Chain A
Amino acid sequence: MSVVSEQAQTPLQPGAPRPPAADLDVSSSEEVASRGRILGARIMANRLGIIGIVWLVLMVSVALFADFFAPYTVDYVHEEALRAPPQRVHIFRDGRLTRPFVYGFKSERDTRTFLTTYTEDKELVYPIYFFVEAEPYKLWGLITSNTRLFGVEEGGMVALFGTGRLGRDVFSRVLTATRISLSVPIIGMLISVILGSSIGVASGYWGGVADILIQRLTEVLMSFPRIPLWMALAATLPPELSSLHRYLGVTIVLALIGWAGLCRQIRGKTLALKESDFIMAGRAAGSSTPTILFRHLIPNCFSHIVVVATLSIPGLILAESSLSFLGIGITPPLVSWGTLLKDAQSVQVLTKHPWLLAPGVFMVLTVLAVNFLGDALRDALDPYSEIR
């Protein structure tokens, strides 16, 4: 082999000056925004996304501190006020600004329809106090406390969303139900994300017969109509289960059906990434399979996982509510929005007692909020979208 030594002196473009290394870093002084900051800015630029986040933060705090926010326990009964309408909060009395208060009820029974109608009794004034001492509760089963955010004096009543068939405070019940109605979907989502992404990554990365089998299984799971499938699985939970076990059972049932969609998405992403140059480069560098999977592949799927997982929550909220509404989901003494809606089954409710639909309103708002957040995340993580 010859022709070598003179080659080094023959640059590609003769005479082209080689810039010194220092000249190369043009962008060194520029402030470069980090990924997280860009992401935050993008989410914040999305108005619906913010609304969603605000509502969800509110709901999560309510769920965490339901006992504190709710003036009554779920089972507290106002014997004199069955299906009483929401009480209005007043701050003016005789034209003067006072501490907020509600009026008590004057009840009248219609002798023909046997329906009781309630009207405000201007004689009964129940001032609302904050941080009152009321029935004790155990926060998260750990801290015993009897302080509640607000309440009225013994003998009075405050029912901001009215009362139900048995005279229980709808407001307190809706707030308390938030715990179940949010935790079932969130825990179910986490289980299905763990299942779906690990099966999806493995299936996509190693391929082979297992991959084909897993894909057929997910197709079958996904082609079943959802509600009958949930019902069938939920019906297999033995009726004598305690309320808490049932809660866990329902969560697992939902997760076992929910992982399939995520699994397919993550598998597709894995297939695409597996052939990408940076994974090849990682293998050429000698990185082990765990490094390739956990440091290259999964982090690059992560934004995708987050979006898909977020957008799967509304379905789970509705699923839990449907099952509970049908009586095969959550059972008393635990309450969820679905079990509360059982009280609102008749047409009469819509005409006479619309306040019993409050749990439904919370459900719809929460589903919308999660969708807003999911869309905002998806837009923010899309590398091609502009900051608006």
Chain B
Amino acid sequence: MSDTPILQVENLSKFFPVQRGLLRRTVGHVKAVNDVSFAVNKGECLGLVGESGCGKTTVARCLLRLVEPDQGRILLHGEQQTFDIASASRKEMLDVRRQMQIIFQDPFSSLDPRWRVTDVIAEPLMAQKVGRGEAGRRVLEILPTVGLGPHFADRFPHELSGGERQRVSIARALIVSPPLVVADEPVSALDVSVRSQIINLLLDLQSQMNLTYVFIAHDLSIVKHISHRIAVMYLGRLVELGTTQQVFEDCKHPYTKALLASVLIPDPTHREQSYVLEGEVPSPLNPPSGCHFSTRCPFAQEQCSAEEPELRDMGGGHWVRCHFAEELDLSEEIFAPQFDTPTASN
């Protein structure tokens, strides 16, 4: 791992128009991603965490230009050339796709049900105009790397288990040997029993192939063991960014603290979203004024709902978006007592 960035995201925004009625009038925008900036260094794994609906998938899709970003630059420092993905031409995008690939959240819907495993895995190669024979050979080469036998090549996706499908998905992403891989919740749709296998596979592959990951997850427990740095999102905004150590041992944002509280509970009946944060996640169509977290934050002051805090550097590459980041003492288990109430352990 080095300090040279391979990917720089600057002020990335994506607003989805919300249309109503016969004439499809735009009545508002879902600010799925709002002014997000971060960098990913060569060889590291950046964890991107946040509750469902906070815009993680949208970030991932913007990174690969699967949705058109509305604003911002996405700089990919390739081997020979630097691309701005947000404005790259079609031809440049083909180069980009050789250097950055994605693993999708849901292995059941991300494989075309009518394609055989070989064809699925070979798709990026065929797009790069690699010949059929060569592609088939490389598919057979990569199958054992992701823990699949050669006989899987002729199967259809519906003949595979969830874990096997996700291995196919990983093989498809890695077949063009991209230095950078975006993994969008690669295990959240899988059975708990195979999650660790897939995570371990991803870790092995990272060291074997010298990969850089942007690893998306909705809870911190998974990211803890594999990320070097962690970015926390809330309602389309980046609220905290720091090394794994900074985030786990010295987090400065109350929302991160809440996420951590949910991680630390040993009770296995507690599922991802059951940490007790008061109130619902506000609608991204109408985020609260000022600090988006102010409606649920136990430390909220008047200033919080009036004025939106900036993302500020706390030193050592630790960025926090909170007015009171310096003053707040988050060392106590502020969210913990609530878990002792019987209603919390349903």
Contacts and interface: CB of A to CB of B under 8 A. Distances in A.
Contacts of A284: 64, 66, 97, 101-102
B66 A8 contact: no
Contact of B149 (A12, A22, A32): A22
B3 A1 contact: yes
A276 B110 CA distance: 7
Contacts of B229: 1
Contact of B196 (A3, A13, A285, A295): A13
Given A21-B144, A278-B112, A285 B195 contact: no
Given A12-B195, A32-B159, A286-B128, A7 B104 contact: no
Given A24-B163, A299-B114, A18 B207 contact: no
Contacts of B115: 295
B199 interface: yes
Contact of A7 (B61, B163, B226): B226
Nearest to B157: A278
Interface in A1-23: 1-4, 7-8, 10-13, 16, 18-19, 21-22
Contact of A280 (B3, B104, B114, B196): B104
B124 A285 contact: yes
A299 B203 CA distance: 36
Contact of A21 (B148, B155, B169, B199): B148
A45 to B, nearest CB: 20
Nearest to A29: B151
Interface string A359-378: 00000000000000000000
Given A7-B225, A7-B226, A2 B124 contact: no
A285 B200 contact: no
A268 B273 CA distance: 34
B111 interface: yes
Contacts of A1: 1, 3, 41, 44, 228-229, 243, 317
Contact of A8 (B102, B159, B203): B203
Chain A interface mostly helix, strand, loop or mixed?
loop
Given A8-B203, A16-B196, A282-B112, A287 B104 contact: no
A280 B110 contact: yes
A183 to B, nearest CB: 31
Contacts of B144: 21
Interface residues of B, number: 59
A199 to B, nearest CB: 20
A16 B200 CA distance: 11
B192 to A, nearest CB: 9
A277 interface: yes
B126 interface: yes
A222 B149 CA distance: 53
Interface string B121-138: 001101110000000000
Given A277-B106, A282-B112, A288 B127 contact: yes
Contact of B228 (A3, A21, A295): A3
Contact of A3 (B164, B199, B244): B244
Given A28-B151, A300-B113, A282 B207 contact: no
Interface string B151-193: 1100110011101100001001000000000000000000000
B124 A277 contact: no
Given A16-B196, A286-B124, A25 B114 contact: no
Given A1-B41, A10-B225, A18 B159 contact: no
B276 interface: no
B109 A276 contact: yes
Interface in A287-309: 287-288, 291, 295-296, 299-300
B148 A25 contact: yes
Contacts of B93: 286
A383 B111 CA distance: 16
Interface in B77-131: 93-94, 97-98, 101-102, 104-106, 109-115, 123-124, 126-128
A291 B110 contact: no
A35 B156 contact: yes
Nearest to B229: A1
A291 B94 CA distance: 14
A28 B109 CA distance: 22
Nearest to B227: A7
A7 B47 CA distance: 14
B147 interface: yes
A281 B172 CA distance: 9
B88 to A, nearest CB: 12
A198 B322 CA distance: 53
Interface string A36-66: 0000000000000000000000000000000
Given A24-B147, A24-B148, A278 B127 contact: no
Contacts of A220: none
B196 A8 contact: no
Interface in A223-246: none
Nearest to A276: B109
13 contacts: A1-B44, A7-B225, A7-B228, A12-B199, A12-B222, A13-B196, A24-B147, A25-B148, A278-B109, A278-B111, A281-B102, A284-B66, A287-B127
Given A1-B228, A27-B160, A35-B156, 11 more contacts: A8-B207, A11-B196, A12-B195, A28-B149, A28-B151, A278-B112, A284-B64, A285-B123, A286-B93, A287-B127, A300-B112
Interface of B: 1, 3, 41, 44, 61, 64, 66, 93-94, 97-98, 101-102, 104-106, 109-115, 123-124, 126-128, 144, 147-149, 151-152, 155-156, 159-161, 163-164, 169, 172, 195-197, 199-200, 203, 207, 222, 225-226, 228-229, 243-245, 317
